[in-house]
Chain A
Amino acid sequence: MNAQVLQAVWAVVLLTGTGTVLGLVVGIVVKLFGAEIDPRIEEIEGLLPGANCGGCGFAGCVAFAEALAHGKAEPTACPSNSAAAVERICALLGVAAGTRNPKVAVVLCGGDNAKARQAALYNGVVDCKDAMLVAGGAKGCRFGCLGLGTCARACPFAAIEITAAGIARVHREFCTGCGKCVAACPRNLIRLVPADAPVHVLCSSPEKGAAKRGVCEVACIGCRKCVKASGEDHITMNGFLAVVNYDNPPTAEVAAVCPTGCLVATTPPAETETADPAREMVHA
């Protein structure tokens, strides 16, 4: 019995002793060689959206905060942040706030299931990239939106909705212009454009007008009416496809001349969005 008590005491003494010694060693090493952690990093991190969308070009919000603290990035590089937060970060770092041209994503296809023909019934894996592996996608138009939501799942801000008619639509009020969806779309339909761009050509098919019309009601048929109405500086023709010059865009009125309705004016964001559980999740 005595031997057992003794053993227990020894164990306690030994463990406490080792712990104390090692603790001291670590403490001394940190004091002598340890790097000072910049307290601003944490503060900046708190002012970033925390979505880790990568739109700034860094691995995530923490990496971006570190880069900011070390003066290796501009506070405006985060496309997702609010103007107020950017201002506070600038104040914290003592730098002048640069100007930022906010961008939004736009899906350059208007052929939803009501307006564009499906060539076949696809019942495979619900993902645009998977659908592309089966006969190149079952939509009649080889360039149109497949509506299987690969972009929507890639968006860290849940800004993309696949509508009931089966096409991807960006909710401009939620889109921060991070560009994740651009890389996700296997049909390269999504483009980042200046948020104040007034009109868009919602078609990406370079095929001849008749071929496009055969599969889609709202295709750009290359009639050049919009080019004539707005001038070559504002809209150019890329083969049979009209392309808006986003550096020098035409006015919204030009949309009226389009005979098929693929040239559309930007609609202002919906008044009040009812809370969407998917969005709540992202921000939680």
Chain B
Amino acid sequence: MPEQVRFRGGVHPDDGKSLSQAAAIQDAPLLETYTVPLLQHIGAPPKLVVAKGGKVLRGQRLAEPSGFVSAAVHAPTSGTVKEVTEVALPTGRTGPAVVLQADGEDKADEGLAPLTDWAEAEPQVLKQRIVDAGIVGMGGAAFPTAVKLSPPATKPISVLILNGVECEPCLTADHRLMLEQPEAVLTGARILARVLGVRTVRIGIEANKPDAIALLTEKARGTGIEVSGLRVRYPQGAEKQLIHALTGRKVPAGGLPMDVGVVVQNVGTAVAVAEAVTLGKTLYERVTTITGRPVVRPGNWRLRVGTPYAKALELAGGVSFDPAKIISGGPMMGFAVYSLDIPVMKSTSGILLLAREDVTQFTGEACIRCGRCVDACPMALMPGTLSVQIENERFDLAETWHALDCIECGCCAYACPAHRPLVQHLRRAKQEVMARRRAAENKSKR
């Protein structure tokens, strides 16, 4: 493995991947109903295009984008729209969702024809396909992919990076995807490169997945796509850290990857793009890791969007003992949830159940000024100092000290020997700072 540029900070938690990484991806059987949330991405909520009682086919559009930063939502199977109602979401909020009664036939919609000649197709046509297929970032953030592929003319892009790092402990969905669909990953990469008009494509994979690195390197031979093994350190898969490790470029504080001529896409997104273009398939299912010690058969499943968490867990054989905590996503950046009555979304990379022994209960103490959080922070912030000020509601100081640069990776809280809820404080501060900015903006408009 070539010597990599090392990003600063980070931590090395137990990766917990052995539970599920050997389990091949399985397709989930058809359910009777699916609850498909409308807002599954960052941006404007899409506009509903079906009504109660309407019949839809698998892959047919349920809602269309309502603006540039928005994404379409598609039916996970064929059936009837039972109702449109407010449901609880994995994020802890509630939002409108289409309840779809499956007809059991699972008939596919033929709306989008496969673009077999994509290698000659206009970039614009390919990008439109990505919009039509409702593709969003599958790594967890769910930012509409087409937006990331539309940099302003002032920001030329020279490198496309595919993110196959999967540094989040316990998750193995991307790993399995790279092992089982390497061609789709590479095709997706080439389509994305064509849309962006870049020649340099790099795939970054953490060194704890040697089989995926070997396989992709082998398959990529002759395509010009370079596969790199990266040192195992969390958060190696965070956009800015990955860019730094692979290109040595540093995204400025408050900036975006496009500021240094880079676009990063998750490998899952690449597969979705490949399928949308070559098969005409819209984004209505994804690979999700269901894992944790209480789970009877931890593994990776291809789940349709709208599958309730409870049903997903049944696929994995249910639980052998009561979990103490349920997390949507991975242990470092996922969201704690308290109900399994929430639907799988385009961004659901994992469903993690933790046993009582895996959950530490603690009360934060006063900061002992050891500085470990500063060492751990990959964004070079001072989490300890920030947290004390945030406790005193000094959000103005938090803003000055770059709280908005925090990527909520949780390294600081992981490292703190005084168990201070550092990342929790930072999250709160980011919210408050954004609210203050919005308030100031509204004021200046008036």
Interface residues of A (CB under 8 A from B): 119-120, 123-125, 127, 129-130, 133-138, 142
Contacts and interface: CB of A to CB of B under 8 A. Distances in A.
A130 B92 contact: no
Nearest to A142: B94
Contacts of B361: 123
Contact of A125 (B92, B335, B339, B421): B421
Contacts of A127: 428
Interface in B300-356: 335-339
B338 A119 contact: yes
A124 B338 contact: no
Given A119-B339, A135-B336, A135-B337, A124 B94 contact: no
Contact of B428 (A129, A136, A142): A129
Given A123-B363, A127-B428, 11 more contacts: A119-B338, A125-B425, A129-B428, A129-B431, A133-B427, A133-B428, A133-B431, A134-B335, A134-B336, A136-B91, A136-B94
A266 B238 CA distance: 55
B424 A135 contact: no
Interface string B344-385: 000000000000000001111000000000000000000000
**What secondary structure prevails in chain A residues at the interface with B?**
loop
B421 A134 contact: no
B257 to A, nearest CB: 26
Interface in B92-123: 92-94
Contacts of A137: 92
B431 A136 contact: no
Interface string B268-282: 000000000000000
Contacts of A124: 421, 424
Interface residues of B, number: 19
Contacts of B428: 125, 127, 129-130, 133
A133 B91 CA distance: 9
A136 B339 contact: no
A136 B92 contact: yes
B431 A120 contact: no
Contacts of A133: 92, 424, 427-428, 431
A130 B336 contact: no
A249 B428 CA distance: 39
A197 B168 CA distance: 55
Interface in B52-105: 91-94
A142 B95 CA distance: 13
Closest 10 pairs (CB-CB, A-B): A136-B92, A120-B338, A135-B92, A119-B338, A125-B421, A130-B428, A135-B337, A125-B424, A135-B336, A133-B427
A134 B92 contact: yes
Contacts of B92: 133-137
Nearest to A139: B338
Contacts, number: 41
A138 B424 contact: no
Contacts of B93: 136
28 contacts: A119-B338, A120-B336, A120-B338, A123-B362, A125-B364, A125-B421, A125-B424, A125-B425, A125-B428, A127-B428, A129-B428, A130-B424, A133-B424, A133-B428, A133-B431, A134-B92, A134-B335, A134-B336, A134-B424, A135-B92, A135-B336, A135-B337, A135-B338, A136-B91, A136-B92, A136-B93, A136-B94, A142-B94
A91 B168 CA distance: 70
Contacts of B339: 119
A123 to B, nearest CB: 6
Contacts of A123: 361-363
Nearest to B94: A142
Contacts of A135: 92, 335-338
Of A124, A130, A138, most buried by chain B (CB within 10 Å of CB) is A130
B334 to A, nearest CB: 11
Contacts of A120: 336, 338
B304 to A, nearest CB: 24
Given A125-B421, A125-B424, A125-B425, A138 B338 contact: yes
A130 B427 CA distance: 9
A136 B337 CA distance: 9
A233 to B, nearest CB: 31
Contacts of A142: 94
A127 B335 CA distance: 18
A130 B395 CA distance: 14
Contacts of B363: 123
Nearest to B432: A129
A123 B362 CA distance: 8
Contacts of A130: 424-425, 428
B443 to A, nearest CB: 15
B360 to A, nearest CB: 10
Nearest to B425: A125
A136 B362 CA distance: 21
B413 to A, nearest CB: 11
A119 B337 CA distance: 10
Contacts of B425: 125, 130
A134 B293 CA distance: 23
Nearest to B360: A123
Contacts of A136: 91-94
Nearest to B361: A123
A125 B364 CA distance: 9
Nearest to B427: A133
A129 B93 CA distance: 14
Interface string B398-433: 000000000000000000000001001101100100
A123 B431 CA distance: 20
A125 B423 CA distance: 11
Contacts of A119: 338-339
Contacts of B338: 119-120, 135, 138
B401 to A, nearest CB: 19
Contacts of A129: 428, 431
A26 B335 CA distance: 63
A135 B338 CA distance: 7
A119 B93 CA distance: 15
B287 to A, nearest CB: 24
Contacts of B364: 125
Of A120, A123, A125, A135, most buried by chain B (CB within 10 Å of CB) is A135
Nearest to A127: B428
